[in-house]
């Protein structure tokens, strides 16, 4: 008797390639709770994008004894190899891969729906891991253009594909808890820096030779590690056959007009007013959140200064006192990472009960109050309340990312939610570039006007609150999609045929994924859960400096 692998058994043959979608359709022994660890394996790796700031300063010290490239301009630095790159020049890498994240997700989101999560996830692993390796080679050759090509462009493509692949898959596996499902994956993106940044710092210290920081070797080692982990996640994916539902679950009577049982094709979805209202919602939430994220540490130090140590604000600080204040600011950054990550699963889970639209109303109304209160809290010297307020803001920033995929599934259906989500992520690209530019421009304009350092953030925070008001208005304008935009039965059948799903698989969808959790589930969750908990411990250890 021949033993037929589950993936082949589910598709009825072995003619398709190993990465093909039809090889990933779940058989009866699969359990849907195996999917979140696979998603987390990918998102915890690409989440290192948030931790790239650990490289900026070391990358400006790669040529011992050489002068800074500050006098030759950015484009000259791309190809110059005899001077040290400036910190502002290398920080554009972050903007590049965030821009590429949205662009690649928008371009290849439709392809993902047909190709399946295994192929998309594996290509994401190649791009993100390979991009870091190429970036490391660029650092070793001291060619900034190659670092941008590897980490920024190729790595950004890996970010885009890696970001949307698990989200699209999880929504289909958890029709009963869409918010919880997307929260699991996107929590990993928020928490990736908690794990990756300390590893990067330790590796740079290990690979440092003399006065040359070990950036190149660190990037290459991380690239290999991330490629392996993301590939494991990609091969762990399975997709449910069309018509599959959790055992014992029946769709409840629809009392929310915003939740549709129909599906909207990508080609129509992005032309609807609902799509663009949600685009504005995400863009405003992200722009405001990035504003606080970018200036949290310097704002905390400038606003409170010596008052954190019980010293009068006018007192000149010693080097030791400045170091203590910097440590407290680093503790705030650790807390921000933690709340950014945990807020993703918390708010997305809450949205399953109160609805996506109401969740965003909370984000915007509460956010406006909190953003406007930060200047007052700073002037009053209430550092503890200030920190708590920033943490809540960051939880809603992360929650906005994890709630929007479920919002899209409610409005446009689940058939092409990954592709639609990919298009919507262009809002993140815009916010990732415009947000830091806006913050820097407003801050510099006030400094040039003679505004005191501890006051320059006030106007910026009020501007960010104004962006949240725009997001609130856009969210209130979201309405159900018109019937004319829904796919007909024939269109839906044609779309599903492109997924190469054998007819007998759909006919037996009710028998799929009925396996037990077992030792496989325990091991899978431990492999992602233990590193995540270590990251949480590190973040809390840093935060201890605040108390």
* d(C-alpha 456, C-alpha 449), whole Å: 10
Q: Are 403 and 360 in contact, with CB atoms under 8 Å apart?
A: yes
Nearest Cα neighbor of 172 from 533, 421, 398 is 421
Per-residue b/e over 401-425, b at no fewer than 16 CB within 10 Å? bbbbbbbbbbbbbbbbbbbbbbbbb
Question: Please, what is the end-to-end C-alpha distance for the chain in angstroms?
Answer: 66
Tokens, residue 460: 């910026």
* d(C-alpha 412, C-alpha 420), whole Å: 8
Nearest Cα neighbor of 429 from 165, 104, 191 is 104
What pLDDT tens digit does each residue of the chain (547 aa) get? 333 344 444 444 444 689 998 889 999 999 999 999 999 999 999 999 988 989 998 998 998 888 888 778 788 888 877 888 988 889 889 889 999 999 999 999 999 988 999 999 999 999 999 999 999 999 999 999 999 999 999 999 999 999 999 988 999 999 999 999 889 889 999 889 899 999 999 999 999 998 899 999 999 999 999 999 999 999 999 999 888 989 888 887 766 778 888 999 999 999 999 999 999 999 999 999 988 887 787 788 777 776 666 676 566 667 777 777 777 777 788 888 899 999 999 999 999 999 999 999 999 999 999 999 999 998 888 888 998 999 999 999 999 999 999 999 999 998 999 999 999 999 999 998 888 788 878 878 888 888 877 778 888 899 999 999 999 999 999 999 999 999 998 988 888 888 777 666 666 678 888 999 999 999 999 999 999 999 999 888 888 777 6
* d(C-alpha 198, C-alpha 200), whole Å: 5
DSSP code string of 102-121: HHHHHHHHHHHHHH-HHHHH
What's the chain's length in residues?
547
Tokens, residue 426: 């262009």
Sign of CA dihedral 266, 94, 202, 325: negative
Q: Are 383 and 308 in contact, with CB atoms under 8 Å apart?
A: yes
What's the predicted TM-score (pTM) here? 0.89
Tokens, residue 85: 């790159």
What SS3 string covers 459-480? HHHHHHHHHHHHHHHHHHCCCC
Tokens, residue 510: 């009710």
Q: What's the angle, vertex CA 436, arms to CA 294 and CA 476, rounded to 5? A: 95
Sign of CA dihedral 89, 54, 211, 318: positive
Cα dist from 96 to 66, 90, 432, whole Å: 27, 10, 9
Q: Are 125 and 155 in contact, with CB atoms under 8 Å apart?
A: no
Residue 199 burial (C-beta neighbours within 10 Å; 0-12, 13-18, 19+): buried
Question: Largest alpha-carbon pair distance within the chain?
Answer: 84
* d(C-alpha 337, C-alpha 192), whole Å: 9
DSSP state of 62: S
φ, ψ of residue 68 in degrees (nearest 5):
-75, 150
Three-state DSSP state, 296 = helix
Nearest Cα neighbor of 118 from 3, 26, 210 is 26
């Amino acid at each position: 008797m021949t033993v037929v692998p589950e993936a082949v058994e589910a598709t009825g043959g072995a003619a398709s390639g190993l990465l093909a979608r039809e090889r990933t359709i779940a058989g009866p022994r699969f359990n849907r709770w195996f999917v979140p660890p696979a998603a987390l394996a990918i998102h915890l790796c690409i989440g290192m994008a948030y931790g790239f700031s650990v490289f900026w300063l070391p990358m400006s010290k790669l040529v011992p004894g050489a002068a800074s490239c500050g006098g030759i301009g950015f484009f000259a630095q791309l190809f110059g190899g005899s001077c040290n790159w400036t910190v502002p020049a290398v920080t554009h890498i972050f903007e590049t891969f965030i821009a590429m994240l949205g662009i690649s997700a928008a371009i290849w989101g439709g392809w993902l729906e047909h190709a399946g999560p295994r192929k998309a996830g594996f290509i994401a692993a190649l791009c993100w891991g390979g991009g870091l390796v190429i970036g490391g080679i660029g650092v070793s050759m001291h060619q900034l253009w190659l670092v941008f090509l590897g980490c920024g462009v190729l790595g950004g493509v890996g970010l885009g594909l890696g970001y949307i692949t698990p989200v699209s898959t999880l929504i289909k596996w958890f029709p009963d808890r869409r918010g919880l499902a997307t929260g699991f994956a996107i929590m990993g993106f928020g928490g990736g820096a908690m794990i990756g940044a300390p590893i990067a710092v330790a590796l740079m210290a290990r690979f440092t030779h003399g006065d040359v920081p070990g950036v190149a070797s660190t990037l290459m080692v991380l690239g290999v590690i991330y490629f392996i982990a993301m590939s494991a996640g990609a091969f762990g994916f399975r997709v449910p056959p069309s018509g599959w539902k959790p055992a014992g679950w029946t769709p409840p009577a629809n009392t929310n007009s915003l939740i549709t049982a129909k599906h909207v094709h990508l080609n129509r979805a992005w032309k609807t007013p609902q799509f663009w209202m949600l685009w504005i919602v995400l863009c405003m939430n992200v722009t405001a959140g990035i504003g606080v994220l970018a200036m949290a540490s310097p704002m905390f130090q400038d606003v409170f200064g010596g008052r954190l140590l019980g010293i009068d604000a006018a007192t000149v600080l010693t080097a030791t006192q400045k170091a203590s204040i910097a440590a407290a600011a680093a503790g705030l950054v650790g807390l921000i990472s933690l709340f950014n990550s945990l807020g993703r699963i918390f708010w997305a889970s809450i949205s399953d009960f109160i609805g996506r639209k109401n969740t965003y109303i909370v984000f915007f109304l509460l956010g406006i109050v909190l953003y406007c209160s930060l200047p007052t809290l700073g002037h009053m010297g209430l550092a503890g309340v200030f920190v708590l307020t920033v943490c809540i803001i960051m939880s809603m920033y992360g929650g906005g990312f994890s709630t929007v995929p479920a919002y899209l599934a409610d409005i446009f259906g689940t058939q092409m939610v990954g592709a639609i989500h990919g298009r919507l992520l262009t809002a993140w690209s815009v916010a990732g570039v415009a947000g830091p530019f806006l913050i820097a421009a407003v801050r510099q304009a006030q400094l040039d006007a003679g505004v005191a350092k501890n006051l320059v953030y006030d106007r910026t925070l009020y501007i960010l609150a104004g962006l949240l008001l725009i997001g609130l208005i856009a969210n209130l304008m979201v309405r159900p999609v018109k019937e004319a935009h829904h796919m007909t039965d024939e269109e839906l059948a044609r779309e599903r045929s492109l997924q190469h799903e054998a007819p007998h698989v759909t006919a037996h969808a009710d028998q799929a994924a009925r396996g037990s959790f077992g030792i496989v589930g325990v091991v899978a969750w431990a492999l992602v859960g233990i590193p995540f908990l270590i990251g949480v411990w590190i973040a809390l250890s840093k935060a201890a400096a605040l108390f």
